[in-house]
Amino acid sequence: MAPADRHSADQWFVSEVLPHEASLTRYLHRVWPDHSEVSDLRQEIYVRLYEHATRSPRDLPTSVQAKSLMFVIARHLMTDRRRRERIVSIDYTQDLEDSNVLVDEISPEHRLSARQDLRRFSDALDQLPAHCRTAIWLRRVEGLTTREITERMQVSEGALEGYLTRGIRALMKVVFGGTIEGDPREDVRGSDHGRHG
Amino acid sequence: MGATDSEAVEEAAVRWFIRREGGAWTDAQEAEFNVWLDGATAHRVAYLRVETAWQQSARMKALGAGVPSGVIPPPGEWGNTRFLKKTTAELQPAPVTSPEDSTQQVKFADVVTGHESARPATSRVSSRGLGLRFNAVAAGLLVALAAGAALYIYTSGYFAGDRYATAVGGLDNVRLADGSHVTLNTDTSIRVRMTAKERHIDLVRGEAFFEVAKDPAHPFVVYAADQRIVAVGTKFAVRRDSEDVQIVVTEGEVRLAGADASEPIPVPTMLHAGAVAKTSRKEVIVNQDAAPDTQRLLSWRVGYVNFQDTTLSDAVAEFNRYNTRKIVIADPALAELRIGGNFRSNNTHAFLSLLQDRFPVTVEEGEDQVVLRGR
């Protein structure tokens, strides 16, 4: 792919697909019994979606198409996996059909106020071990370079990388939300058929 | 349990990101990075997620407001940041309509006035490109939120630009990633996009004062109604009332041009320090020697409104910008009374007292409004 096309594909992915991650993750949690597999499922969905969409980089799917495609790919992927795992259960098939209805209904993504968003970041920070919290603070709030932070914290670059890795992954959870049972942002809609992970 | 494949990929992406954005990065390292990135679509997608999350976390800078450098507030202390101590009314977020709504309208409900306005999101930034390599201009989208009540408004388009707004009676200062400072007056909304060509600011409503950091490669351009105001390194204010635009320059120079590309190229107007220009549907009136007026027109920056031989109806209109309880003139005869003085913009009490003392005016204070009648 030409670099310019590659750039527009990446930009497309960020602006048309990633905003729906929370919605996709909630859906996967609702429909796939093994929650520990959700992350892998999502990765696979993204890979298939990205590759499908970028077959014609001048003609990338619209916002509407991207979201539908994402859920179509999700359903196909899960159906494939279930067949491979030979799970025979009428309930599961039924669930998949029901959840089609839920997915096609566009759930409004409630935007939090700036204050609430800030609180989520702050809470995530507070839950990190002290070194991670310090490292993220110095990097994200104060904007120091790696070198400056290692000097300030008197740690090696390797150690710092570890702290920052953990911190950034926590921030990613805040940004992408997604479902964590009990998460007040969870869009509780439709029945879960009593299946909690 | 060992990490799943996606978790391992995510961790690798995060580590690449940390190293790549850490400060010292060579071409050889970049080449290694590209080998990893191109090695699998999963790698690319994972890296895009990390970049996106990082950019969205820029608002965390607000946690540092009022905190001295080097000090890290202990856990649970976030409530003590200046950000939260401000008491101006908060804009309440409303549900974003689905992407199926092709105009991608984002509705804001001003909780205090109950006024709802739909602001269409304009087209996404495409010229910047996702440039996986962060550079100073690209980082312009990570706009730092300085302390206070200018709320960072999170829209559904990750790269549709950053918006800042104040509520009625609000006043705040924001530092942009290029080093520029913007002071937002009451009931103001701006949108900031740093593109490869320019620093693009839309003044959607209200009034803002800009202190522009020098960057000759990227003109700082404020779009207001049908005007385009171009600056390189200056200080100036722009006020928009629907289609009327007022520009006050206090330092340096700005160029005023029409924003309508289809019109024959008009001669742009250069405005120097001390100039005040008013435009109204392509008509432009410029006073290049308005230095005494500029301070008066910018007194809002320190929380004051200043009147000099101003009609009562104009003065009332000005106060009403800053207060949700509006003043209404019931007797048309009063409208032409002339007044002068310096008032705190949110202290209508002093203004109303003055009116009652010095003029044939009675003031009826109600819950929702204040009515002025002739005596």
Q: Which of B57, B69, B97 sits opposite A140 (nearest CB)?
A: B57
Which of B7, B48, B105, B123 is the best mutation test for A, with the most CBs of A within 10 A? B48
Among B166, B209, B203, residue whose Cα is nearest residue B298: B209
Cα(A169)–Cα(A188) distance, rounded to whole angstroms?
25
Q: Which of B15, B48, B76 sits opposite A13 (nearest CB)?
A: B48
pLDDT at B267 over 90: no
User: Is A171's CB within 8 Å of B53's CB?
Assistant: yes
Chain B environment of A121 (Cβ under 8 Å): 57, 59-60, 63
Q: Which of A40, A63, A138 sits opposite B99 (nearest CB)?
A: A63
Percent of chain B at pLDDT > 90 equals 29
CB atoms under 10 Å from CB of B332, counted, come to 9
pLDDT at A36 over 60: yes
Cα(B83)–Cα(A130) distance, rounded to whole angstroms?
23
Is A76 an interface residue toward B (CB < 8 Å)?
A: no
How large is the C-alpha radius of gyration of chain B? Answer: 24
> Residues 6 or more apart from B274 whose CB is under 8 A from it?
B249, B250, B288, B289, B290, B291, B294
When pLDDT is averaged across residues B333-337 and rounded to a whole number, the result is: 90
Residue B338 DSSP SS3: strand
Is A19 an interface residue toward B (CB < 8 Å)?
A: yes
Tokens matching residue B263: 């019109």
What are B184-237's pLDDT values in tens digits?
A: 898 888 888 877 778 889 998 899 999 998 888 888 999 998 889 999 779 999
* pLDDT for res A191: 33
List strand residue ranges (DSSP E) for B79-198, in order: 92-93, 105-110, 115-120, 151-153, 162-165, 172-175, 181-184, 189-194
Q: Which of B99, B126, B152 sits opposite A114 (nearest CB)?
A: B152
Reported as a pLDDT band with limits 50, 70 and 90, residue B261 is low
Which of A6-20, A181-195, B133-147, B284-298 has the least mean pLDDT?
A: B133-147
Cα(B117)–Cα(B107) distance, rounded to whole angstroms?
6
Q: Are B336 and B312 in contact (CB under 8 A)?
A: yes
Residue of B nearest to A8 (CA): B129
Q: Report which listed range, A80-89, B69-78, B210-219, is most confident.
A: B210-219
Interface pTM, i.e. ipTM: 0.83
Reported as a pLDDT band with limits 50, 70 and 90, residue B259 is low
Reported as a pLDDT band with limits 50, 70 and 90, residue B2 is low
Q: How many residues does chain A have?
A: 197
Helix/strand/coil (H/E/C) assignment for every residue in chain A? CCHHHHHHHHHHHHHHHHHHHHHHHHHHHHHCCCHHHHHHHHHHHHHHHHHHHCCCCCCCCCHHHHHHHHHHHHHHHHHHHHHHHCCCCHHHHHHHHHHHHHHHCCCCECCCCHHHHHHHHHHHHHCCCHHHHHHHHHHHHCCCCHHHHHHHHCCCHHHHHHHHHHHHHHHHHHHHCCCCCCCCCCCCCCCCCCCCC
Residue of A nearest to B109 (CA): A113
Ramachandran quadrant class, B251 (left: phi over 0; alpha: psi -120 to 50; beta: rest): beta
Tokens matching residue B135: 């550079």
Is A1 an interface residue toward B (CB < 8 Å)?
A: no
pLDDT at B127 over 60: no
User: Is A141's CB within 8 Å of B64's CB?
Assistant: yes
User: Is B6's CB within 8 Å of A64's CB?
Assistant: no
pLDDT at A100 over 70: no
Reported as a pLDDT band with limits 50, 70 and 90, residue B115 is very low
Which of B29, B37, B41 is the best mutation test for A, with the most CBs of A within 10 A? B41
User: Is B92's CB within 8 Å of A113's CB?
Assistant: yes
* pLDDT for res A109: 46
Cα(A185)–Cα(B93) distance, rounded to whole angstroms?
14
Q: Which of residues 132-191 of A touch B (CB under 8 A)?
A: 133-134, 137-138, 140-143, 145-148, 152, 161, 164-165, 168-169, 171-172, 174-176
Cα(B138)–Cα(B132) distance, rounded to whole angstroms?
9
Chain B environment of A119 (Cβ under 8 Å): 78
Cα(B253)–Cα(B274) distance, rounded to whole angstroms?
10
Residue of A nearest to B52 (CA): A14
Is A46 an interface residue toward B (CB < 8 Å)?
A: yes
> Residues 6 or more apart from B154 whose CB is under 8 A from it?
A111, A112, A114, A117, B56, B59, B93
Q: Which of residues 112-141 of A touch B (CB under 8 A)?
A: 112-115, 117-119, 121-122, 125-126, 133-134, 137-138, 140-141
Q: Which of A110, A133, A147 sits opposite B95 (nearest CB)?
A: A110
Which of A172-176, A188-192, B59-63, B218-222 has the least mean pLDDT?
A: A188-192
Among B178, B164, B27, residue whose Cα is nearest residue B108: B164
Residue A183 buriedness (CB in 10 A; 0-12 / 13-18 / 19+): middle
Residue B316 DSSP SS3: helix
* pLDDT for res B47: 96
User: Is B57's CB within 8 Å of A171's CB?
Assistant: yes
pLDDT at B130 over 70: no
Which of B1, B9, B14 is the best mutation test for A, with the most CBs of A within 10 A? B14
pLDDT at B119 over 50: no
Among A124, A141, A131, residue whose Cα is nearest residue A161: A131
* pLDDT for res B70: 75
* pLDDT for res A178: 45
When pLDDT is averaged across residues B342-367 and rounded to a whole number, the result is: 87
Q: Are B167 and B93 in contact (CB under 8 A)?
A: no
Ramachandran quadrant class, A172 (left: phi over 0; alpha: psi -120 to 50; beta: rest): alpha
Reported as a pLDDT band with limits 50, 70 and 90, residue B100 is very low
pLDDT at B244 over 60: yes
Chain A environment of B124 (Cβ under 8 Å): 11, 15
Which carries the bigger pLDDT value, residue B77 or residue A120? A120
pLDDT at A108 over 70: no
Q: Are B247 and B271 in contact (CB under 8 A)?
A: yes
Which of B45, B50, B59, B96 is the best mutation test for A, with the most CBs of A within 10 A? B45
User: Is A43's CB within 8 Å of B46's CB?
Assistant: yes
Which carries the bigger pLDDT value, residue B128 or residue B196? B196
Which carries the bigger pLDDT value, residue B87 or residue A93? A93
CB atoms under 10 Å from CB of B148, counted, come to 23
Q: In what order do the strands lie in the sheet with B361-365?
A: B326-329, B369-374, B361-365
Which of B29-38, B80-89, B180-189, B262-271 has the least mean pLDDT?
A: B80-89
Q: Which long-range contacts (CB under 8 A, 24 or more apart) does B263-271 make?
A: B268/B230, B271/B236, B271/B247
Residue of A nearest to B83 (CA): A115
When pLDDT is averaged across residues A95-122 and rounded to a whole number, the result is: 55
User: Is B11's CB within 8 Å of A169's CB?
Assistant: yes
Cα(B47)–Cα(B34) distance, rounded to whole angstroms?
11
When pLDDT is averaged across residues B256-269 and rounded to a whole number, the result is: 67
DSSP string for B197-224: S-EEEEEEEEEEEEEPPP-TTS-EEEEE
* pLDDT for res A153: 95
pLDDT at A154 over 60: yes
Tokens matching residue A123: 């809470």
When pLDDT is averaged across residues A96-100 and rounded to a whole number, the result is: 46
Among A73, A160, A116, residue whose Cα is nearest residue B21: A160
pLDDT at A193 over 90: no
pTM of the model: 0.50
What are B4-29's pLDDT values in tens digits?
A: 899 999 999 999 999 988 777 888 88
